[in-house]
Each structure stands twice: as structure tokens, then as C-alpha cells.
Structure 1
């Protein structure tokens, strides 16, 4: 399938590349299928490109790369939803907001996405642990 995107131009999408979300990302109810894109010239280098809405792409980052102390404990139902035996087998990502002011780049550490690369199933979680902020400013030196 050929997908015409706003950020990446035309992409030839293969079925084996599509990531399926068990539930939509919060606020985007009509989008459950994505591609994980890598683009060296754009920070951050990973993007979730919606297949359902070619104009929608989310920059994403590993929360472990922005917060050295980040950790999550998943419950069995969360692991089962994406058919994982262990969180160690998952790719964990968080959505980023990249405004014009680079000092305001932030990510939501309280709503990570867990992705099983083996079967291409993903799910956004809502963590109730208040130690992780909804607005984690990536370039704020006081975070480290």
C-alpha cells in the first residue's frame, strides 16, 4: 500500500511493518495502525506515523534515554494485551511534544507505549505513579 504522508512523503507500507494498537492513543480514537519511522535528520529519530491518518505523526523517544531512573512495573494484563512474557522484550516509548522553543521539548513519562516488536502489537499505558510527570522537559538540566 502506498501512503502519502505530510512528513515523510510517499511510503510503501508492507503489512509486516504495521504496528497495531490494542486501544487507540489517547485522543486519537480513529487511529490504531502505525509505522515506526526512523529519520536521522529530525530529532528525535523515531516517529509513529499513522496509517489511518497520513497527516498524523508523533515524535517518540525511549523514556530510558531521557531519564536514567525511569522504570515501569507492568501488571500481567498489560503484558498479556501485547502478548509479552516480560517487559524486557518490549520497546518502551513515550510521545514527545516539540514546540518551536527547543527548551520546551517535553515527553509524557506517565503514559508510555509498550510495543512488542515480535508481533507488532502496542498499547499506551497510563501509570498512576505520580513520580513521573506528564510534562517532562527533556532539555531541563534539573531533571538529571
Structure 2
């Protein structure tokens, strides 16, 4: 499948590498098929979650651990069923990150922001995902200082 991205141009992605979000993502419900892409030749720190349906829809994502965060939360039975999850080792979690524009950001928010209250949860074996919206702080977040 060929996907287009303003960031990387056109890329050929094998169909078995497409991740389906059956319910879409909040605000982007019409986009259900995505590919994780990154710059070749470098160890990826941040991936682009690029919509296969709309080249204008893409999100920078990274595992929370890359930011020094351990994020733990519980999936509902419905979420587990939607992901067709049978083995916890097949789970991957990512958070959407974005750079703050220095001209419009205050000093406290300048730099990089990450959405820990709506992580992406992906069954890597089934290639199914969802965005887990956490309505209130009912999960555990542990920050680690990088050495």
C-alpha cells in the first residue's frame, strides 16, 4: 500500500504493517488505518503515525519510557476484546508528542509536550489499536530521571 506524508513523501508500506484503529482516534474517527514510519538510517526516537487514508493526518509518537515515564493503566474488557488481546507481551504503548512553538509558548510549556492522558495502545500481533482516553488520574505514572 502506498501512503503519502508531508513529512516523508510517498512510501510503500506492506499491508501487514498497517495498524487498524477500528474506532479511529478521537477527532479523527474517519481515519482508521495507520502506519508507523521513521527516518531511515537512524535509531527512531519518535515515530510518525501516518494515516493511510488522509496524508494530512499524522501524529508524532514515542513510547513513554523514551521520555522517562512508566505509564500503567487498566484496559476494560471491551478494550481488550477490541484489540483481540490474548497475550500482554503483544501490547505496545505510545504517547502523542508535539513540539511547542517557542514564540507562543510560555516558559513552563516550551519544548516538548506529551499526552499521557490519552495513550495509544497497540496489539502488535493483531495490528489493532485504540486510543485509551483516561478521564481522571486513575493510572500510575512514574517519572525516571535520565542518567
SS of the residue corresponding to residue 35 of structure 1 reads strand
Distance verdict in 2 for CA 1:4–1:126, change over 3 Å = closer
Q: Where in structure 1 are there 5+ consecutive unaligned residues?
A: 133-141
Superposition map of 1:5-24 within 5 A: 5-24=5-24
2:32 is matched with 32
SS of the residue corresponding to residue 71 of structure 2 reads coil
Q: What is the rounded CA distance, in whole Å, between the counterparts of 2:43 and 2:57 in structure 1?
A: 16
2:91 is matched with 90
Task: For residue 43 of structure 1, report the CA deviation from its aligned partner.
Answer: 7.6
More strand by share: 2
- Which one of the candidate residues 76, 91, 108 is aligned to 2:115? 108
Task: For residue 25 of structure 1, report the CA deviation from its aligned partner.
Answer: 0.9
SS of the residue corresponding to residue 64 of structure 1 reads helix
Q: What is the rounded CA distance, in whole Å, between the counterparts of 2:17 and 2:89 in structure 1?
A: 21
Q: Please, what TM-score do these two structures have when normalized by structure 2?
A: 0.78
Q: Which has the higher contact order (CA 8 A, sep 6+)?
A: 2
Task: For residue 110 of structure 1, report the CA deviation from its aligned partner.
Answer: 0.9
1:138 is matched with none
Question: Number of aligned pairs?
Answer: 135
Q: What is the rounded CA distance, in whole Å, between the counterparts of 1:29 and 1:112 in structure 2?
A: 16
RMSD: 2.6
Q: Where in structure 2 are there 5+ consecutive unaligned residues?
A: 103-108
2:134 is matched with 127
Deviations 1:32-51 (A, max 9, x none): 11001122669842110111
More helix by share: 1
Contact 2:38/2:44 (<8 A) preserved: no
Superposition map of 1:39-118 within 5 A: 39=39, 44-101=45-102, 103-118=110-125
